[in-house]
Every structure is written in structure tokens, then in C-alpha cells.
Amino acid sequence: MIRRLTRLGPALVASAALLLSGCEFEGAYDLPLPGSPVNEGNSYTITAEFADVINVVPRSVVMVNDVTVGEVIEVDRVGWHAEIIMRVADGTELPDNAVADIRQSSLLGEKYVALESPTTEDPVGVLEDGDDIPLSSTGRNPEVEEVLGALSFLLSGGGVGQLGTITQELNNVMSGRTERLRHLLGSLESVIGTIDSQRAEIISALESMNGLTKTLNAEKETIGEALDVMGPAIDVLARQHDELIAMLGALNRLGKVGTRVIGASKDDLIATLANLKPVLTKLHEVGDKLAPGLDMMVSFPFPKEAANVVKGDYANASIRAGINLEIFLPEDGDDDNPIPIPIPDPGEVLTAVQKCLKSGDITSKACEKVFTDADQYKKLKKACKKKKNKDNPVCQVVNPLPDPDDDNPLPELPGLPGLLRFNDALRSGAPSPSYAGTGLYAGGGA
């Protein structure tokens, strides 16, 4: 009885499994097998889509880094590709963008599913229960049959036969040209060696070009605007083509003339510079003494310290200076540059008005006589209204004065007596009398 029960044990177990699983039964894969790598209570389920699952069946193992971490529990067809449902043990850490491959343990070994982190991008997230690995992240290794078929095609009618033709043609090309080919290979070695020795410069040039490309890319809008503006500018240049050519021709002729002028005047220019050298040398030797001298020229005939005589008040002084410009004027003239003060002819008899105009000095004795005679003064006013005398220094003073009349036969010229005395003193060359400082502070003296 005991032996019979022992023989009936597997059948009873199978019958009990059928009763527990209901009426549906799909074959031996529905039978619970011992030795499962993971426990259903300590695992999570994920799916993966494959274009071809080859010979993967339920109960195939799932590995991570050649370590078994789970098993395939179901293989289904979804549309035109396959879907594998896998059970993976808890504690198996994989990124959310993990990849799945179907591999073979050996040449004739069993198939298994390998889960790995992605190699073309950084790992992201964590793979959890219910996640799906898409078709783009799955693949498989080539089958042995595929490798053998490709090898058979290569050996029978593929590239092996073509290699023989290539070798024969190479022998025909090299036949009789051994020295030239050896020289060519030596030249190639030299060129490659030079390029290798300059690889740092080549890399630097490429990096500079990369920086230039980045700059151009950043300024592409500005470059585009410049190109848009360049079109009308080129149209303008095209319309002015003849004028530009004429201008360049004129520049060419100007260059030739300039070259001749410079060549002809070179010696004179060098001589002028040589003569200028002593003058510049003396100016350099004068140094800091030149500036005080120029400063004193501005305040002539008074010293610079005269500005510090009056402190916070004013001095009652009136100064008029009469300057005779006769010695500075040219002796010859023309219509464009008339002589304001011509030298009178000794044999010419001049009137008092003409003498006054000829002198060009309002403080001259001739002008002094005119200002003391009403008739002569009227003649002077009439002569100054003529166009030829408008630039005469005497007329420049007389024209603003009022015309003489019965109430005012002669105008008063303020300061004329003192101005006459000052002019006489300048002409005589006698030193000016010294005044006491108290006179300046008190407002006395002129």
C-alpha cells in the first residue's frame, strides 16, 4: 500500500495543481517547477518589447552582469513584435532607461535576457514595478546560423574572390615601378612625420577655427544684416564703376607727379631741414627760459609784477599806446593788397588831409593839425567816406565820430593830448619817468 501511494504521489500532485488552477491549462509551462531564482513575494515585474525573441521561453533566466536576478514569466505577441514579462528580485537596482538584450550563454547554450545600464546616455531614474522597456532599447545577438550563413556567402561568392582580383591588379600596378613606389612611400612617411610633429599647431588651429565659428554663429544676425546692406552698396559701386576707374587712373597720375616733385625737391628739402637744425638746437638750449620770455612779451611794456600792484582795488590810470606800423608794411603792393601807409614822394605837395591819411597815424602832427581845424576835419571826414580809404587806420578812427555841425564844430577825441605825448616818448626812446608806488595806490599819475 505504501509503495502504491508513493507511485501515485506525482499524479496526485499534478491533479491537485489542475484543480487549484481552474479549468485553463496551457501545457507544461503552467506546472509549478521547483528551483525558481526569485520568490514572487520578494520581486517586482517589468516588461520589455523585442522585435524578435528567438528561442526565449518562459522560465528563461534574467541576468545583470552575468548574475541571475530573475526569470521570464510570460512571452506574448503584441502587434508585429513580442513582449516579455519578467520577474526581477527586489534589491536589483537598474536605471529607468535600462536596456535589454537577448544573449546566449555559450555557442550552443540557452538563451537569456540581459539587463544593463545604457551606454549611449547617462542613467536616469530607477526601474520599478510595472515599468516597460521600449522597443528602441532592446536587441539581440546574432544567431550561430546567421554567422555561418554570412561566412558561407563570403567564401562562396563574396569578397574573398574579389580579394584575389584586387591582389592581381595591385601586382600589375607595382610591376616595374618598385623604386617609384618606394620613393612615394618615403615621401608619405616624411609628410606624415611632419604632420605628426605639428599636430599641436594643427589642434590649436582647429580650436581657433572652432572659436571663430562660434563667434560667427553668435553674430549671424549682424552678419546677415551686413550682407543685406552690402547688396545696395555693391549696386552703388557697380553704377559708379567708370568713376572709380577714372579716380584710380587720376591717383596713378598723381602718384607719378608726386614722385617727380619729391625727387626734384628732395635736395632742397634736405638742405632746408639742415638749415633748420641750428634753429631747433638753439630753441632746445633755451629750454625753460623761453616760456618766461614769451610771458613778458605779452605784458610789454609793463613787467609781469605790475599786475600785483593793486590789491583788491583799482588804480586811476589811463594808458594809451600809439604804434607805428610803417616799418612792418611792404613797400610794394597791388590792387588785391593795397598799401595802407605808402611812402610819400619827396617832390609831391600834399595837403594836410592827405598828409594825415598818408601817415596812417591818428597821433601824427599832420592829423593833429587836421583835428584843430574844422574845415580840414570836414575834408578828412569826406575823404574817409571814399572806398579807397576805408581800410586806412586814420579813417577807421574817424568814421565812427559824429559829423561836425554848428553846435559841435570839432569832436573831442578823449585822451588825444596824452596819447600824443606817449607817442613822442616812444619815438624819442627816452626812458619813462618813475612813479612812486603811493601814486599808483592813490590813483594819481597817468
Determine the Cα–Cα distance for residues 444 and 446; give it in Å rounded to an integer: 7
Parse the chain into domains and list their residue ranges. Answer: 1-32, 36-141, 321-414
CB 446, CB 318: distance < 8 Å: yes
Give me the pLDDT at residue 315, please. 54
Q: Is the pTM of this model over 0.75?
A: no
Residue ranges of alpha helices (H) inside 175-240 are 178-197, 199-218, 220-239
> Residue 321: what residue type?
A
Q: Are 339 and 333 in contact (CB under 8 A)?
A: yes
Question: Taking 90 as the threshold, does the pLDDT of residue 83 lie above it?
Answer: yes
How many CB atoms within 10 Å of residue 101?
16
pLDDT, one tens digit per residue, over 86-133 is 999 998 889 999 999 998 887 777 889 999 999 888 999 999 999 999
Taking alpha carbons only, the member of 304, 313, 301 closest to residue 442 is: 313
341-347: long-range contacts, CB 8 A cutoff, minimum separation 24? 341/393
The DSSP result for 92-104, as a single string, is ----TT-EEEEEE
For residues 352 and 366, give the distance between their C-alpha atoms in angstroms, rounded to a whole number. Answer: 6
Please provide the DSSP assignment of 235-276 as one string: HHHHHTHHHHHHHHHHHHHHHHHHHHHHHHHHHHHHHHHHHH
The helix/strand/coil state of 442 is: helix
Pick the closest to residue 84 from 112, 104, 116 (CA basis): 112
Which pLDDT tens digit goes with each residue over 245-303? Answer: 999 999 999 999 999 998 888 888 898 988 998 888 888 888 777 777 766 666 666 66
